[in-house]
Amino acid sequence: MENLNPKSTESKNPLKSEHLKEGVRPIMAGIGTRNQFMSHSGAEKIIFERADTDTSGMHNVDYYGNPEDLAEKKFKNAGKYSYVISPIDNSDKFSKSFLNCTGRVVTGQDKNTGEDISFLSHQDPAYFLRETNRNVFLSDLRQRLNELKEKGAEGTVDAVIIGGNYLPNNAEFQKHYLESIKLLSEETLKILGFEPVVMTGPKTTPGADDVFYDNKNRRLYIMRPEVGKASTESFVQSKIEEQEKKW
């Protein structure tokens, strides 16, 4: 898919899925607390139980995993507590304990098979925002974005951002969050031609997000400590100043 010029990009609202062809589903999210998910009798409970007990046939994007083991499985990473970017394929994917870390899901329909394919990342701003590490992270991220762009049929590629926190009275975490969203959004816009939706705002109370991505159905499940606040609203980076006032 060719990059859009700035003028045409501005006319496409990712919150309304205007970057997708008619009939192509955007990534949709279900957001709730652990109690809400586990008291549900449907797919939501089953999905997180799978991630807890039986991970066969899915990718664990394990930020806390052994770097050598991750590399052997074709996960991009730069060592312990840096970032992890999954391979691009048709597997379901999950990642646990997003604290200050942000993540992203990018998907598209394979040009050859018509199947949905995707990757999931989990990255620590304390690592990748440092000047000494930024280029290493951006190189791996750009490779994945370009790979998915090349494999994905035009008008079927979607991308979202997840995770992060914006704790009151913690200027460093707030700065990390804002800079993370800016960097990830700009890279998506440059390569894919549209702003990614920030699927939820940052956490504003202590705790971690767990996420599970149902690849076939383009369904993202986000489990976080507290919901129902303005910080769970979706937005795009170009509107972040307006959104920040609500946190």
What confidence tens digit (pLDDT) does each residue in 153-201 have?
999 999 999 999 999 889 999 999 999 999 999 999 999 999 999 999 9
Summarize pLDDT for 118-151 with one digit per residue, the tens: 999 999 999 999 999 999 999 999 999 999 999 9
**pLDDT tens-digit readout, 198-228:** 999 999 999 999 999 999 999 999 999 988 8
CA distance 207 to 24: 34
Tally DSSP H helices, then E strands, for the chain. Answer: 8, 12
Give the helix ranges, DSSP H, for the chain.
6-10, 34-38, 43-53, 67-72, 125-128, 131-151, 171-192, 240-244
Q: Where are the domains of the chain?
A: 23-54+78-244
